Structure 1
Amino acid sequence: MFKPLTLAIAMRYLLARKTHKFASFVALISTIGIALGVSALIIVTSVMQGLQERLKDNLLGTTAHLIVSSDSSLDAAALTSLPHVIAITPYVKGQALLQSDNGIVLVNVEGEDTSKLDFNLKKLDALNDDIPSGSFEIYADMGLLMKLNLNLYDKVRLISTQNARYTPLGLTPSQRIFYIKGALPSLVGNNDVPTVKGNYSDIKKLLRINNKKASYRLYLSDPFLINETTAKLPQCLTYTTWQDSKGDFFKAVAMEKLTMTLMLFLVIIVAAFNILSALAMMVSSRLSEIAVLKTLGMKEKSILLIFIMTGSGCGILGNLIGLLLGIPLTQNITKITEFLKISVSANATELPAVISPMNITLIVAGALFLSLLCTLYPAYKAAKTDPIRHLQQGF
């Protein structure tokens, strides 16, 4: 005889197929539903996580994570000691009018001194390295170049009213001739202001920023931890973060990820309720057997455990099948989309997918918890069966 006895009886009820066929069919459907729900959740959450990571690298790789400004000198060492800060660089930013033969457009101008920046960070956003001081060359947004029909080495004029000076002719803005050296990825919408980047000293001269006013760009190990960093900043400093320009976009991505996860989790919820239905039918059809077990001395706790294990078996099996399906499908999602001739995007050749152990653990734990929860009521009713009444009815 199998030991423990409760496990042996639970396995017998779970694997019985000749009797109580309809209850077994419902249990099979619930197992398939949980397997499909778990595998779909693993695939969708992994792809959404991969897309979020790619967007974070592409968008926030060239966007300043945190810019700190002060009207007086800043202690660079104190800024470096802030949580998650891995590097800082002198930084200037302002707005100007870009004038060419084909029109005039308002732009954001940026300059950054990357001479002391670590090489790995320079690869992310270090266009100033190949722009010598005094050359007055800039990189411009690709959309801006297309809009004004500008080519490499074309001449443009940048006009800034920031720190404009009074002359005998009136208020005179700062203006200089710049040359187009290259293009920046176009990451702005129709209503956003395009960006141009140049050498730190050249942009500083254009904006007429004196040495007393200091601004630094802070690089973070993870841009999503920006709130922990800003919470430690001194109150006297002013700052802007990537959330000011890109925060709404990433909130929309997170909301879409949450919505899709909840919708797919409904599949698991429905399958778990099917377990409840199958177990309830099983209990109602085995009342006489339960009464016999109680008459033979089996305690209510053991009967409760039998039917909990019977119902949970469907959830465990469904989770196992879902894992065996979901992880390989996620790892080969690009090949699957290519086989089905599904175009992911015009530029991306690979659909990103990040298999997170934490996500998989939460999915499996949630599915198992729902399966267990739905077994409690039928198992409780089975444990509370009155053996005398049901034996009388049986005989």
Structure 2
Amino acid sequence: MFKPLTLSIAVRYLLARKTHKFASFVALISTIGIALGVSALIVVTSVMQGLQDRLKDNLLGSTPHLIVSSDAALDAAALKALPHVIAIAPFVSGQALLQSDNGIVLVNVEGEDTLDLDSDIKKADVPHDKLTEGSFELYADMGLLIKLNLNLHDKVRLISTQNARYTPLGLTPSQRIFYIKGATPSLTGDNSIPTVKGNYSDIKKLLRINNKSSSYRLYLSDPFLINETVEKLPQNLKYTTWQDSKGDFFKAVAMEKLTMSLMLFLVIIVAAFNILSALAMMVSSRLSEIAVLKTLGMKEKTILLIFIMTGSGCGIAGTLIGLLLGIPLTQNITKITELLKISVTTQATELPTVISPLNISLIIAGALFLSLLCTIYPAYKAAKTDPVLHLQQGY
């Protein structure tokens, strides 16, 4: 049972530095190690979470979260009622060859009817509502425009073999002249297929999609919850998700975040083992004092609690110092990198950080648990000390 006497003895053992200097030095090093590990973990996890959220906004803002298609008419109301779906819009997509005077490139073509979309949905891709039906205008990937040396209002030809028709001359693809209306940010790699976007009806005519089949683009409140939405889809529907095109990239980001967190957590583990070493030296040097306490009637459970509290004090102190260091460092990480002349951002942007209470709670809980775990064995050995043997050795 906890008593003030137990706490007072634990604090006295923890702060005693004159008679047990080396053990106190090891305990100090372990406290500093835990503080550095906790603060580094807070900074790294916050920065990685911020980068992941920014990538999610930039990449998945323009990438369809979920596309559902069927050869028959789809129930729009049922699709909008799916978990995490905030809006839906008729959508068509396919592949085509884009031909210009400077070359020919395979592209993805997309068209979306944004007429019924809620105005509060913030979209990072093309403002489709500015493309009128019959204008045959396109918004093209910036990288594609640079590659083919295309300018605004330039004429290009789109050739699609999707739903090609047989004529007396053989299999004839669909082709139409389009005009470059504007550019979209290039968010794909060099080996990725660029995307061009046009009016829903114009792209539908190019791809020769009949009115019987239907396809919808579903907007989710959080793209990372896509699996919960897909599980509720009827089995007869075809669908594609953002994971098909961007899933490997975000898996790599998550793996990097996990790897860096584990490497920094090793610092806390090493520091916690230093607590074990310091407490073991403290117990071995105080065996005669422990024997006196047991002779005076102190129970083994009380002695066990005294040394657990003594060792845990280093872990608690290190965790609190790390917390007090980590949060301000995270909040001022951009200014710190600028002072250190480390260029990680442009002048117009800051290093994104997200201080997650859940992540911080897990870091604190892990550090405290390891500190407590490493005190159990030395405290147990102290509680099992034979008072007769060590009192005899003391005289």
- TM interval, shorter chain, is over 0.9
- Asked if structure 2 preserves the Cα contact closer than 8 Å seen for 1:98 and 1:157, the reply is yes
The answer to whether structure 1 residue 387 and structure 2 residue 387 are counterparts is yes
CA distance in 2, matches of 1:12, 1:164: 87
1:227 partner letter:
N
Hey, what's the Cα distance between the residues in 1 that align with 2:121 and 2:363?
Answer: 35
**Map 1:61-210 → 2, pairs under 5 A:** 61-210=61-210
Q: Which amino acid aligns with 2:172?
A: T
Structure 1 counterpart of 2:213, one-letter code: K
Distance in 2 between the 1:193 and 1:232 partners? Answer: 30
Q: Name the aligned partner's letter for residue 365 of structure 1.
A: A
Partner Cα distance (2:249, 2:119) in 1: 29
Q: TM-score, normalised by structure 1?
A: 0.98
- Partner of residue 5, structure 1: 5
Following TM superposition, by how much is the alpha carbon of 1:125 offset from its aligned partner in structure 2, in angstroms?
3.1
Alignment of 1:1-395 (within 5 A): 4-346=4-346, 349-395=349-395
**What is the Cα deviation at residue 346 of structure 1?**
5.0
Tell me if structure 2 keeps the 8 A contact 1:113–1:128.
yes
The secondary structure found in structure 2 opposite 1:385 is: coil
Q: What's the CA shift for 1:349? A: 2.1
Relative to structure 2, which stretch is displaced further, 68-77 or 169-178?
Answer: 169-178
Q: Report the 3-state secondary structure (helix = DSSP H, G, I; strand = E; otherwise coil) of the residue aligned with 1:123.
A: coil
In 1: Cα distance, 2:215 partner to 2:282 partner: 71
Q: Judge conservation of contact 1:71–1:214 (CA < 8 Å) in 2.
A: yes
| Structure 1 pair 323–122 and aligned structure 2 pair: CA distance change class (3 A) | closer
**Do the aligned residues in 1 keep the contact of 2:125 with 2:184 (CA within 8 Å)?**
no
Q: Structure 1, residues 57-90: CA drift from partner, whole Å, max 9, x if none?
A: 0000000000001000001111111111111100
**Maintained 8 Å contact 1:68/1:239:** yes
TM-superposed CA distance for 1:347, in Å, is 7.7
Aligned AA (1:373)? L
Higher mean displacement: 67-76 or 2-11: 2-11
Which stretch of structure 1 is more off in the superposition, 334-343 or 273-282? Answer: 334-343
Report if aligned partners of 1:33, 1:268 keep a CA contact under 8 Å in 2.
yes
Q: What amino acid is the match of 1:316? A: I
- Kept after mapping to 2: 8 A contact 1:69/1:214: yes
For residues 308-350 of structure 1, what are the alpha-carbon distances to aligned partners after superposition, in whole Å with 9 as ceiling and x for unaligned?
0000000000001001100000000011111112111458621
Q: Look up the equivalent residue of 2:67 and give its one-letter code.
A: I
User: How far apart in 2 are the matches of 1:348 and 1:225?
Assistant: 31
Partner SS state of residue 342, structure 1: coil
Equivalents in 2 of 1:156, 1:265: separation in Å?
55
After TM superposition, the score normalised by the length of structure 2 is: 0.98
Q: Are the aligned partners of 1:84 and 1:225 in contact in 2 as well (CA < 8 Å)?
A: yes
User: Which sections of structure 2, spanning at least 5 residues, go unmatched?
Assistant: none
Whether the 8 Å contact between 2:97 and 2:107 is mirrored in structure 1 is yes
Sequence identity percentage: 86
In 2 relative to 1, CA 255–348 (structure 1 residues): closer, same or farther, beyond 3 Å?
A: farther
* Letter of the 2:168 counterpart: P
SS at match of 1:301: helix
1:301–1:82 CA distance, 2 compared to 1 (3 A):
same
Local SS of the residue matching 1:67: strand
The offset of 1:251, in angstroms, is 0.2
In the TM superposition, residue 166 of structure 1 has moved relative to its aligned partner by 1.7
- The 1:87–1:175 alpha-carbon spacing in structure 2 relative to 1, beyond 3 Å, is same
Q: Is residue 319–residue 368 contact of structure 2 (8 Å, CA) maintained in 1?
A: yes
For structure 1, list consecutive stretches of 5 or more residues without a partner in the other structure.
none
Q: CA shift at 1:172, angstroms?
A: 1.4
Moved over 6 A (4+): none
In the alignment, the residues of structure 2 paired with residue 79 and residue 273 of structure 1 have an alpha-carbon distance, to the nearest angstrom, of 54
Q: CA deviation at 1:168?
A: 2.2
**SS of the residue 1:104 aligns to:** strand
Question: Using the alignment, how far apart are the partners of 2:124 and 2:327 within structure 1?
Answer: 31
What letter corresponds to residue 274 of structure 1 in structure 2?
Answer: N
Q: How many residues align?
A: 394
User: What is the letter of the counterpart of residue 389 of structure 1?
Assistant: L
Letter in 2 for 1:305: L
What's the CA shift for 1:122?
4.7
Structure 1 residue 169, shift from structure 2 partner? 2.0
Distance in 1 separating the partners of 2:172 and 2:363? 63
Deviations 1:194-240 (A, max 9, x none): 10001101100110101111000000111001111101111100100
**Of 270-279 and 131-140, the range deviating more from structure 2:** 131-140
- Deviating more after overlay: 133-142 vs 168-177: 168-177
Q: CA–CA distance in 2 between the matches of 1:121 and 1:162?
A: 31
Name the CA distance, whole Å, in 2 between partners of 1:188 and 1:345.
20
Measure, in 2, the Cα distance between the counterparts of 1:246 and 1:68. Answer: 17
2:19 is paired with a residue whose SS is coil
Q: Offset of 1:355 from its aligned partner?
A: 0.2
Separation in 2 of the partners of 1:65 and 1:284? 62
1:91–1:215 CA contact under 8 A, matched in 2 = yes
**Within 2, Cα distance between the matches of 1:153 and 1:126?**
16
